[in-house]
Amino acid sequence: MATPMMTCFQERVEQVIERLHDVDAVKFGNFTLKSGIQSPVYFDLRVMISHPDIMVEVSKLLWDKISTSKFDSLCGVPYTALPIATLMSAANDVPMLIRRKEAKGYGTNKLIEGKFKEGDSCFIVEDVVSSGSSILETAQSLSSSGLVVKEAVVLLNREQGGVEKLDANGIVLHSVFTMTDVLNVLSKRGKMKPDMVTTVAEYIAANKFQPNKEILSAKPKINDVLKYSERAAMCTNELSRRLFGIMDKKKSNLALSADVTSSKELLQLVDKTGPHVCMVKTHVDILEDFNQEVVEKLTSLAAKHNFVLFEDRKFADIGNTVMHQYSGGVYHISEWADLINAHAVPGPGVIHGLKKIGASKGRACLLIAEMSSSGNLAKGSYSQDTVKMAEENKDFVIGFICVSKVSSDPTFLHMTPGVQLEAGKDNLGQQYLTPSEVIGNRGSDIMIVGRGIYQAQDPALAAKQFQIAGYDAYMARMAEAMIV
Ligand code: 5BU
């Protein structure tokens, strides 16, 4: 029963909590959570969709929480919050946006569905928040599309660091109720046995986010908490030191894969996108009109825009042959490319041959530990042996091509191809992951983007969007590592 002092809003919150319990959206017992943690309480708010009355009331409570804020649109985090945001949008005549989660692979390739213009503000709606990662991921997609996200609203705050993490990323989180509120309401209304009340209260206290120093430094994930500038200082290789420095200065972990076939197009593309990238990757052998002047112009663009030049030659032969391929032939790669890469399949001789040519010129090499194409054979023990080979040749090998972090050594660089703003694939086996997946979840350092940029209507704008998305994902990863 509501006390006379109780506001109408509080009373409605209590009723919703009780209804959620009645329909088994809140359960007590012994549960193993996705994280492996044992919990005496389990929330499955998805069941709300089978109870339209609850959905409507929840959408009203969420709306009441945010009605004084100003925004142009709402965006529900997939999936449960999508229909809730729809109800809020329809009842209050506010436009809605949808962030695509799955690959579309055809048509406009849009990341955000719905109408908006650059600078519009968007309010994120979510059902439950724990660490805040899902909201942050949605916010990153929205902001990389030009929207401004300053606030989010959630039905249930599990009090596990979401507010703090979002705050660290400039987002204010409003919540209708917390896990403590659920406990208080259900025990007050006689829905829980006294011993369960104690168990759940202890669980909440033990798992509650504590913003103190011990927790901040509880689980340092070494190169997740190290800034680019700190990693630069740890590198003994001059090129990796320079590259981390550029990433720090330009706030960019984007490498452009400039896979166009005419020199004119190549130079124009690189000049336009140069301000947004830390690296330009070439396949010089696809140029129809290669000549030495092109590489001279490329190196002056590298100096103008401050980026590293990487020739994606993928050397894969015995040491003696790769020496010639690297230094001679038509392309004289060692004369102009700061960075090259090699397959580990021939054994360490390939590195030794390349090193003989490149080391004295201050060049460096990446080993291909993993590939982005479907069905490739670079996995498991092959990838592990590649990492070992790199560790044994750290004076010349500065990192990896890979699809997720393969080494915890903070001086190694992880570079990942197969990146688009939406996950998906092409029709020749290339597989795409998003910037937040590659940089945020898989711990890579640099994302390599080709068609996502040079096939865009405005490559400079696309490069800027990737730059923001990649850097935001890096910042979010750092913030997460601080509060895990
Ligand atoms: P895309 O247009 O973003 O799909 O281009 C990816 C680039 O990265 C392209 O130049 C490939 O040759 C390169 N690449 C790759 O996609 N996957 C790999 O595993 C390696 C290189 Br190694």
CATH number, domain at 423?
3.20.20.70
How remote is the CA of residue 285 from the centroid of ligand 1, in Å?
A: 14
Whether 138 and 261 map to the same domain: the answer is no
Whether 249 and 347 map to the same domain: the answer is yes
Domain with 83 in it: what CATH number? 3.40.50.2020
Is 136 inside any structural domain? yes
Q: Is 301 exposed, middle or buried (0-12, 13-18, 19+ CB in 10 A)?
A: middle
Check whether 222 has a pLDDT greater than 70: no
Nearest of 356, 304, 307 to residue 334 by alpha carbon: 356
Average pLDDT over residues 93-118: 79
The predicted pLDDT at position 408 comes to 87
Check whether 55 has a pLDDT greater than 90: yes
Nearest of 247, 236, 286, 293 to residue 267 by alpha carbon: 293
Q: Are 147 and 121 in contact (CB under 8 A)?
A: yes
How remote is the CA of residue 390 from the centroid of ligand 1, in Å?
A: 21
Lowest mean pLDDT among 31-40, 153-162, 432-441: 31-40
Average pLDDT over residues 372-385: 94
* Structural domains of the chain, count: 2
Q: Burial code of 441-463, b = ≥16 C-beta within 10 A, e = fewer?
A: bbbbbbbbbbebbbebeebbbbb
The predicted pLDDT at position 136 comes to 86
Catalytic: 338? no
Letter for the amino acid at 175? S
Is 1 inside any structural domain? no
Whether 264 and 191 map to the same domain: the answer is no
Average pLDDT of the chain?
91
- Which residues line the pocket of ligand 1, CB cutoff 6 A? 257, 259, 283, 312, 368, 371-373, 401, 417-418, 430, 448-452
Catalytic: 317? yes
Whether 138 and 258 map to the same domain: the answer is no
Contacts of 247 (CB under 8 A, 6+ apart): 228, 253, 278, 445, 446
Higher pLDDT, 37 or 207: 207
Q: Whole-angstrom Cα distance, residue 279 to residue 222?
A: 24
Report residue 3 as tokens.
């006390």
Is 222 inside any structural domain? no
Whether 201 and 117 map to the same domain: the answer is yes
Q: Whole-angstrom Cα distance, residue 445 to residue 470?
A: 9
Where in the sequence is the domain holding 136, given as residue range(s)? 10-207
Answer yes or no: is 450 a known binding residue.
yes
How remote is the CA of residue 80 from the centroid of ligand 1, in Å?
A: 35
Instruction: Show which of 154, 174, 207 is a domain's final residue.
Output: 207
The model's confidence at residue 216, banded by pLDDT at 50, 70 and 90, is very low
Q: Whole-angstrom Cα distance, residue 238 to residue 302?
A: 17
| Strands in 100-186 per DSSP E | 112-113, 121-129, 148-157, 172-178
Beta strands 38-43; 26-32: pairing state? antiparallel
The predicted pLDDT at position 170 comes to 85
User: Residue 151, SS3?
Assistant: strand
Whether 203 and 232 map to the same domain: the answer is no
- Which atom in ligand 1 lies closest to the alpha carbon of residue 372? 19
Instruction: Show which of 207, 240, 258 is a domain's final residue.
Output: 207
Whether 250 and 364 map to the same domain: the answer is yes
| Strands in 228-319 per DSSP E | 254-257, 279-282, 308-315
State the Cα torsion 151-158-84-16 to the nearest 10°.
-120
Q: Is 1 exposed, middle or buried (0-12, 13-18, 19+ CB in 10 A)?
A: exposed
Is 396 inside any structural domain? yes
Whether 158 and 246 map to the same domain: the answer is no
Is 2 inside any structural domain? no
Among 64, 72, 120, 317, the one annotated catalytic: 317
Check whether 103 has a pLDDT greater than 50: no
Whether 354 and 398 map to the same domain: the answer is yes
Which DSSP helix (H) or strand (E) runs through 349?
Answer: helix 349-358
Is 3 inside any structural domain? no
Q: Whole-angstrom Cα distance, residue 170 to residue 348?
A: 47
Whether 388 and 443 map to the same domain: the answer is yes
Average pLDDT over residues 258-277: 98
DSSP 436: I
Answer yes or no: is 281 a known binding residue.
yes
Whether 382 and 438 map to the same domain: the answer is yes
Q: State how far Cα 52 lies from the chain centre.
A: 34
Alpha carbon nearest to ligand 1 atom 3, residue = 450
Whether 246 and 100 map to the same domain: the answer is no
Contacts of 383 (CB under 8 A, 6+ apart): 369, 370, 402, 406
Among 104, 314, 356, 394, the one annotated catalytic: 314
Choose which residue among 273, 448, 451, 453 to substitute to test ligand 1 binding: the one with the highest number of ligand atoms within 8 A of its C-beta. 448
Report residue 134 as tokens.
């899902």
Average pLDDT over residues 350-359: 98
The predicted pLDDT at position 482 comes to 62
Is 221 inside any structural domain? no
Check whether 218 has a pLDDT greater than 50: no
Angle at 210 between CA 205 and CA 212, to 5 degrees: 145
- Which atom in ligand 1 lies closest to the alpha carbon of residue 314? 22
The predicted pLDDT at position 211 comes to 55
Catalytic: 167? no
Check whether 312 has a pLDDT greater than 50: yes
Lowest mean pLDDT among 95-99, 208-212, 287-291, 309-313: 208-212
Nearest of 481, 475, 472, 479 to residue 434 by alpha carbon: 472
The predicted pLDDT at position 48 comes to 95
* Percent of the chain whose predicted confidence (pLDDT) is above 70: 92
The predicted pLDDT at position 2 comes to 44
pTM of the model: 0.61
Q: Are 74 and 93 in contact (CB under 8 A)?
A: no
The predicted pLDDT at position 208 comes to 76
Check whether 243 has a pLDDT greater than 90: yes
Is 223 inside any structural domain? no
Check whether 475 has a pLDDT greater than 80: yes
